[in-house]
Amino acid sequence: MNTTKKIQSALISVFSKEGLEPIVRKLHSQNVILYSTGGTEDFIKNLGIPVVPVEDVTSYPSILGGRVKTLHPKVFGGILNRQDNESDVQQMQEFNIPQIDLVIVDLYPFEKTVASGASEADIIEKIDIGGISLIRAAAKNFKDTVIVASVDQYSTLLDLITNQDGATSLADRKLLATKAFHVSSHYDSAIFNYFNTDETVYKASIAEGQVLRYGENPHQKGFYFGDFEAMFNKVHGKELSYNNLLDVDAAVNLIAEFKTDAPTFAILKHNNACGLATRTSISEAYNAALACDPTSAFGGVLISNAKIDVATATEINKLFCEVVIAPEYDAAAIEILQEKKNRIILIQNEVELPNKQVRSCLNGLLIQERNNITDNKEGLTTVTTTTPTTQEIQDLLFASKICKNTKSNTIVFAKNGTLISSGTGQTSRVDALLQAIEKAKTFGFDLNGAVMASDAFFPFPDCVEIAKNAGITAVIQPGGSIKDQLSIDYCNENKLAMVFTGTRHFKH
């Protein structure tokens, strides 16, 4: 059975005319009858090409301010009729319904209208009714009808009709129908999410996906769905991997805590900070961050809250690292960083991150609000007789920001705007604390006068006792244990300052 079909008629009703002219001219050269409405009809006429107004077919004008133009049996019958169905063929003749072989639609820009901050009335008028109906009808009848559902598919159609002399195969039509249902489902999801106020109902649609080299491991397929180019300008380096993207995500979330602070540089490995420092210049911040753990920094992701200059780039160039991220760079700094062929260099743009975080779980999804609370001085409650000094408060808040963005269970040590060490992802808080102490010793850091942050409360006084013996002088934690007083009593007896934030920062 020959499933190849020649296009002999087309209905064109589009919002965007960009890229439409060569299609119209090609269809005209192939003697295709063109039907159209409104602005598209005028566009075709202005090209000097004959076009049949849809109202001549339906005997109805466009009504209700253009809300109803194509919604008519003579239009949808022409699209939905089954050409191998005897009854359909008879009814087409009986009711004088013209055959429509090709439908070209580009929907009203609903998402762009919402993003523009338009009024609700303007947004409602950008909910396409006729267009979405044409798309679904033509896609449903892909055995006989070609559907082009977006300006993004204009070039695909032009290639088809040019290379195949106006003919399409069943495979061609089915592929275009698949793309059409993608367009219609994405469009409907956007409209639903505009109206939806029920947080127990979740719909998401991302129009474009990216195939990654592989997933977390080489034997796993990996894909990224999102607008990476909106967040970053990639100026150099290889394609980002699945693991690169996870580390970049962690880096972006971490540096956001220091967005308005003095020059701050962070180095991450496996989603956790292995170095972070705040200084008066970005080069000083980088060198201090690297000194935190130069071993873990190898192959890490680097991120800055300030412009990377030549001095900083020169130092970075001595380190093997996967990714460098900054809001801007000196031109000469980029040239230096580009000396490593595979090093990924990203310029971070100002983009608001989604407020909902989504991850797969069992046979479904877990969704939560983003942790948007950053501990601040006003939210601290001193619970001990010893009050932290001004410097200690600064370091406590500095440590808390890192702790919030580190895998639980976690303990973070900081001193003079520098991450000294951390214990990350441990099964007990004591293990995390001991890991942090050992790591500080390994790299020769003096913990005397350092501060400690914990992502959750201490159920027993053992952690503050171990910390005190290591040289820690101040502690920040959320509080909330029924045995908080045990830790408070120990701190009071040993002149250790402790503040409660009232906010837990688990990160699993």
pLDDT, tens only, 221-242: 999 999 999 999 999 999 999 9
Cα separation of 361 and 224, whole Å?
18
SS3 189: helix
Cα separation of 264 and 279, whole Å?
6
- Annotated active-site residue 186? The verdict is no
Q: What is the reported pLDDT for 61?
A: 78
Q: What is the reported pLDDT for 456?
A: 95
The answer, yes or no, to whether residue 60 has pLDDT greater than 90, is no
Closest C-alpha among 503, 443, 458 to residue 275: 443
CB count within 10 Å of CB 328 equals 13
Q: Please report which confidence band the pLDDT of residue 279 belongs to, taking 50, 70 and 90 as the band edges.
A: very high
Q: What is the reported pLDDT for 132?
A: 94
Residue among 140, 143, 234, 307 flagged as catalytic = 140
Q: Which H or E run includes 498?
A: strand 497-500
User: Angle 276-282-283 (CA atoms, 0-180°, nearest 5)?
Assistant: 95
CB neighbours of 88 closer than 8 A, spacing ≥ 6? Answer: 81, 82
Q: How crowded is the C-beta side of 260, counted as CA atoms within 13 Å?
A: 1
Residue 347's Cβ-count burial label (10 Å; 0-12, 13-18, 19+) is middle
Closest C-alpha among 288, 350, 298 to residue 321: 298
- Annotated active-site residue 140? The verdict is yes
CA dihedral for 351, 354, 359, 364, sign (positive or negative): negative
CB count within 10 Å of CB 291 equals 16
Q: What is the reported pLDDT for 300?
A: 95
The answer, yes or no, to whether residue 1 has pLDDT greater than 70, is no
Please state, in angstroms and as integers, the Cα–Cα distance from residue 484 to each residue in 466, 474, 495, following that order: 16, 16, 16
**What is the bridge-based pairing of β-strands 33-36 and 52-53?**
parallel
Residue among 143, 234, 236, 270 flagged as catalytic = 270
CA dihedral for 461, 462, 468, 474, sign (positive or negative): negative
**pLDDT above 90 coverage of the chain, percent:** 87
Strands of 69-226 (E only): list them: 102-106, 146-148, 167-168, 209-211, 223-225
Q: Please report which confidence band the pLDDT of residue 2 belongs to, taking 50, 70 and 90 as the band edges.
A: low
Q: Please report which confidence band the pLDDT of residue 58 belongs to, taking 50, 70 and 90 as the band edges.
A: confident
Give per-residue pLDDT as tens, 100-128: 999 999 999 999 999 999 999 999 999 99
Give per-residue pLDDT as tens, 394-426: 999 999 999 999 999 999 999 999 999 999 999
Give CA torsion, residues 489, 494, 497, 500, to 10 deg: -20
Closest C-alpha among 202, 229, 196, 210 to residue 114: 196
